[in-house]
Structure 1
Amino acid sequence: MMNSAEIMAATHAVREDFAFTGITTDSRAVKPGELFVALKGGNFDGHDYCAKAVELGAAGVVISHDIEPLPAWVAVFRVEDTLLAYQQLAHAYRMRQEGLKVFAITGSNGKTSTKDLVAACLGAKYNVIKTQGNFNNEIGLPKTLLDIKADTDIAVVEMGMRGLGQIAELCRIAEPDSGLITNVGETHMELLGSMENIGKAKSEIVENLPADGFAILNGDNEYVVKAAEKTKAKVVYFGLGENCDYRGSEIVTSGIGTTFTCTEKATGKQVQVRLQLIGEHNVYNALSAIAGAACYGVPMEDSAKALATARLTGSRQEIVYIGELTFINDAYNASPASMEAALKTLAEAKKAAHGKARSIAVLADMLELGAISEDAHRRVGRWAVQYGVDYVLTYGQEAAYISDEVAKAGRETCHCATRQEAADKLRELADAGDIILLKGSNSMQVGKMLELFK
């Protein structure tokens, strides 16, 4: 017969406009009236689920190849690349929101925690949405942007990367007004080869910021400071150094939190900050949040109030009490810098217990470190000794180097071949009053140790 294009050409008809209620890529969670975008991955093809999406209420689908026929009333949009189309839709939706600001965050460590704290501080004055979980890649970022509502003032988005050019691409989608770099460390060394390259990749987040935007940078990290040369936005530094615009001092950590003083360099104004978080690295995260919120007119006092009750996304220095055991669940991911920070936190928690607790570190492999992997794991072992960990329990191929360094120092340690073996050993070791750190790369699943005790 005739296709829709032929009918419209013959009759000069205009297709009736239709507003979708939302855009989704998850066929299992489609809501009535939504547009379903059929993404393709290494182990799945969303095109196989278009019919299911329509059954659940999808009013349209975006596809890149032929699919089984759908009901005639379903709008079908055919494109070359469905992922690109999804990103283009998110960008267009972001740009149509008048007055919206996008605040982007990246860094080798602390991205997700900082995102949570920035959103909390900005939330003291504005309607804020933020990246859920760690959806910080080429699929997760568009999802966050498409969650923007008519009354959203600021979208706080996290940006991750595995190579040069990837953050720049995310910035083209989100067009951030401000960018924050938490730090530059050895994460992704296997892929990028040098700290200079990692710094270059992270600095992409500030390269195209508008002149009236803000680049919030870690003033104590030499690789982050270099990013200031690549932006026309106003540069604001945070850290512990004297030259930082928002400087932390008088840091005190207890077993249940951290307090510090934040000083605003321009005015000399000071505010006391109390966190329900442990460790100096969280002081940096909080300082960056205060600095970022101040750029948008949030008083330091209001940020301090917001930080006092702020909570982080799970498995990031989450304190879990099970019976008479205290777990520091920091098992989401790991790099040399975050390992050292976690071991410091464990030492601080033990000190706060006034000598009544024994510290146990359960440490697994740090991945994607390439040629520096052995050296990095051995450094972790030496840090464990330096920070006085009472017992180090490791598993994984690379983590054997951690245990080896601890053993060389004559301290108590045990290396296990598998997570299950380590779990059995932890069950044998753990005693009332112990403080247990769980830390390793995400795929090592150290956090599953908690299941043994709950």
Structure 2
Amino acid sequence: MTTRTLLAALQQHEYNWPRFSQWYQRHQGQDPRIEPADWTVKLRLVSAISSTLFFVPQLVALRLALGLLAPAEGTLRQGWQTLARLKLAWLRRRGLVVLGIAGSYAKTSTKHIMAYLLEEQLSVCATPKSINTPLGISQVIWRQLKSDHQLLIIELGEYYQGDVAQLAALVRPDYGVVTPVGRQHLERMGSLDQVAATIGELVEYFAGRPDRLAVHQANRGWFGGEGSHVQSDTHPGKGSQSYVWYGEGDGDVEGDGDVDSGKADGDGDAPPDWTVNRPEVSARGTEFVVRQAAGEKDNRASHKSWQVFTPLYGAHQAINTLPSFWLAGRLGLDQAAVAKRCRTLPYLERRHYPTFAENEVLILDNSYNTNPDSWPASRRLLEQLPAERRIVITAGFLELGDQAETLNRQLGRDLAGVAEYLGLIETPWADAICQGFTAAGGQASHVATAANQAQLLESLRATIIPKSLILFEGGWQEQYG
């Protein structure tokens, strides 16, 4: 492999050597070509140091470079965090409000949606792209947060236990949002309980201020009160009904999903405070009704509702707008203006991002990631959007540990119900997806496999007819060529 490919893979695995080593062993003997997503200072230093160690094998040189950087990196990280804390303390005295978002998925979409919907009424700074680590967040605060910003929206990443608590202690959010808990990063976390416990660190942070935390309805079983699965001495789950809940209203907006959700059972009967109702998806986008229930949390005697349209596809994206309506109300902003601004929401990169090709072919790029709990939203779109033929290109579910084969086989069975043709990126679980697809009635001759998306598109070109719908579903495809 080329040095650039190794550097790119190392960066994609967040410089975690055991995980990078596993990737290398899986691809040894192959020749994937990957370019680094961003030539950060750290990546440049790793490259420079390892290049001076030309007399040892490539992997040894990279490992030594990381080891030599570690002491300086720790000092640098602490320095950035100190600067960030000082700047936040100064800006809070000038009225800055900080909101933190945690969850397995939908964090980045919720963040970008909120920044856009509120920036017409507030000066907003949000961490760019998917930056969600202490160093990245600290650098954004120091470099991009200005004295005239009124709202800072921060995505809190969870890779290992304690991550969310560390970030909450760093930025001390005034408000919080918890998006769905799901089977993301299972290889690192070890179990779904551990994932939920780590995300629940933000719930614990707001234990004394429950009205300042909006929690997705899918998390009722984790944080929903007595009997919920995530409990501790500081947050035993009691009284958590006073959190602000948001999610689906009347009708099925998420799709039931044949992939077992793995979510904890909880008090799912209590209606959310904020709901999306009657979503209708078309080639134009999604129409829906936002409803705020009557209740005692803000002394409302009756509910409020807004008719909303967004160009974004799917009820799941409609639900991602709800924290914006909630926060607008908390900050005294015009919620009707938020509803109006939804009409011009820009498409979100690699999150069902549409390309309208010739012959009325619609391409949906949902390649940022996928998991067994977010996949039903994509399946729902395949069912709802009109098409003469449906083609799905995927690498399957990643980071699922010993559940990978079972859940990817189930993915294949699901795909057989919504897609006529299937393109599989060559991964250790591609065979499992194919087996599930054919076992559920899909035709083996309609399955193509290749090293990357470009090769798959070429293989499937002849199957694309006018009014086809092509979905790229998940998968960090850069890792496979």
Q: Same fold (TM over 0.5)?
A: yes
- What residue in structure 1 maps to residue 209 of structure 2? 211
- What residue in structure 2 maps to residue 88 of structure 1? 82
**Partner of residue 184 from structure 1, selected from 176, 181, 184:** 181
- What residue in structure 1 maps to residue 289 of structure 2? 261
Structure 1 residues 41 and 336: alpha-carbon distance in aligned structure 2, compared to 1, 3 A threshold: farther
- What residue in structure 2 maps to residue 452 of structure 1? none
**Partner of residue 457 from structure 2, selected from 401, 416, 423:** 423
Q: CA deviation at 1:345?
A: 1.3
- What residue in structure 2 maps to residue 60 of structure 1? none
Normalised by the length of structure 2, the TM-score is: 0.72
- What residue in structure 1 maps to residue 447 of structure 2? 414
- What residue in structure 1 maps to residue 246 of structure 2? 238
- What residue in structure 1 maps to residue 297 of structure 2? none
Q: CA deviation at 1:290?
A: 1.9
State whether structure 2 residue 433 is matched by structure 1 residue 402.
yes
SS of aligned partner of 2:364: strand
Q: CA deviation at 1:443?
A: 4.1
**Partner of residue 390 from structure 1, selected from 417, 420, 425:** 420
Cα distance in 2 for partners of 1:382, 1:293 equals: 42
Letter in 2 for 1:96: W
Letter in 2 for 1:203: G
Structure 1 residues 418 and 44: alpha-carbon distance in aligned structure 2, compared to 1, 3 A threshold: closer
For the Cα contact (< 8 Å) 1:249–1:261, is it kept in 2?
yes
**Partner of residue 116 from structure 1, selected from 104, 112, 132:** 112
Structure 1 residues 44 and 103: alpha-carbon distance in aligned structure 2, compared to 1, 3 A threshold: farther
- What residue in structure 1 maps to residue 62 of structure 2? none
- Per residue, is there more helix in 1 or in 2? 2
Q: CA deviation at 1:148?
A: 1.2
Describe the superposition over 1:267-312 as per-residue Cα deviations: whole angstroms up to 9, x where unpaired.
3111111111111211221223322332222343122112221124
Equivalences for 1:429-440 in 2 at 5 Å? 429-440=463-474
Letter in 2 for 1:171: A
Structure 1 residues 107 and 28: alpha-carbon distance in aligned structure 2, compared to 1, 3 A threshold: closer
For the Cα contact (< 8 Å) 2:214–2:245, is it kept in 1?
yes
Describe the superposition over 1:146-165 as per-residue Cα deviations: whole angstroms up to 9, x where unpaired.
21111111101111121110
For the Cα contact (< 8 Å) 2:391–2:421, is it kept in 1?
yes
Describe the superposition over 1:95-117 as per-residue Cα deviations: whole angstroms up to 9, x where unpaired.
11021111111211111111011
Equivalences for 1:13-92 in 2 at 5 Å? 43=46, 81-92=75-86
Describe the superposition over 1:42-98 as per-residue Cα deviations: whole angstroms up to 9, x where unpaired.
82579x9xxxxxxxxxxxxxxxx99xxxxxxxxxxx997111111211121111102
Structure 1 residues 193 and 211: alpha-carbon distance in aligned structure 2, compared to 1, 3 A threshold: same
For the Cα contact (< 8 Å) 1:403–1:415, is it kept in 2?
no
State whether structure 2 residue 378 is matched by structure 1 residue 342.
yes
Cα distance in 2 for partners of 1:125, 1:41 equals: 40
Letter in 1 for 2:98: V
- What residue in structure 2 maps to residue 24 of structure 1? none
- What residue in structure 2 maps to residue 10 of structure 1? none
For the Cα contact (< 8 Å) 1:106–1:181, is it kept in 2?
yes
Describe the superposition over 1:331-375 as per-residue Cα deviations: whole angstroms up to 9, x where unpaired.
11121122222122122223xx5xxx2111111132211011111
Larger Rg: 1
Letter in 1 for 2:110: T
Q: CA deviation at 1:138?
A: 2.3
Structure 1 residues 171 and 443: alpha-carbon distance in aligned structure 2, compared to 1, 3 A threshold: farther
- Of 389-398 and 108-117, deviating more is 389-398
Cα distance in 2 for partners of 1:279, 1:175 equals: 33
Letter in 1 for 2:46: N
* Gap regions ≥5 residues in structure 2: 1-37, 52-67, 250-269, 295-301
Cα distance in 1 for partners of 2:161, 2:45 equals: 22
Q: CA deviation at 1:401?
A: 1.6
Structure 1 residues 310 and 342: alpha-carbon distance in aligned structure 2, compared to 1, 3 A threshold: same
State whether structure 2 residue 144 is matched by structure 1 residue 136.
no
SS of aligned partner of 2:399: coil
Q: CA deviation at 1:232?
A: 9.7
For the Cα contact (< 8 Å) 1:116–1:312, is it kept in 2?
no
Equivalences for 1:177-326 in 2 at 5 Å? 177-209=174-206, 211=209, 214-221=212-219, 222-225=221-224, 235-241=243-249, 243-266=271-294, 267-324=302-359, 325-326=361-362
**Partner of residue 363 from structure 1, selected from 391, 394, 405:** 394
Aligned length: 379
Q: CA deviation at 1:224?
A: 4.8
SS of aligned partner of 1:149: coil
For the Cα contact (< 8 Å) 2:210–2:244, is it kept in 1?
no
Cα distance in 2 for partners of 1:151, 1:213 equals: 27
Structure 1 residues 364 and 190: alpha-carbon distance in aligned structure 2, compared to 1, 3 A threshold: same
Describe the superposition over 1:106-134 as per-residue Cα deviations: whole angstroms up to 9, x where unpaired.
21111111101121233242111111111
Cα distance in 2 for partners of 1:297, 1:445 equals: 45
Q: CA deviation at 1:399?
A: 2.9
Cα distance in 2 for partners of 1:444, 1:340 equals: 24
- What residue in structure 2 maps to residue 59 of structure 1? none
For the Cα contact (< 8 Å) 1:258–1:274, is it kept in 2?
yes
Structure 1 residues 236 and 426: alpha-carbon distance in aligned structure 2, compared to 1, 3 A threshold: same
Cα distance in 1 for partners of 2:395, 2:384 equals: 21
Structure 1 residues 308 and 224: alpha-carbon distance in aligned structure 2, compared to 1, 3 A threshold: farther
SS of aligned partner of 1:283: helix
Letter in 1 for 2:400: L
Structure 1 residues 293 and 249: alpha-carbon distance in aligned structure 2, compared to 1, 3 A threshold: same
* Gap regions ≥5 residues in structure 1: 1-26, 30-37, 49-64, 67-77, 449-454
Cα distance in 1 for partners of 2:238, 2:246 equals: 17
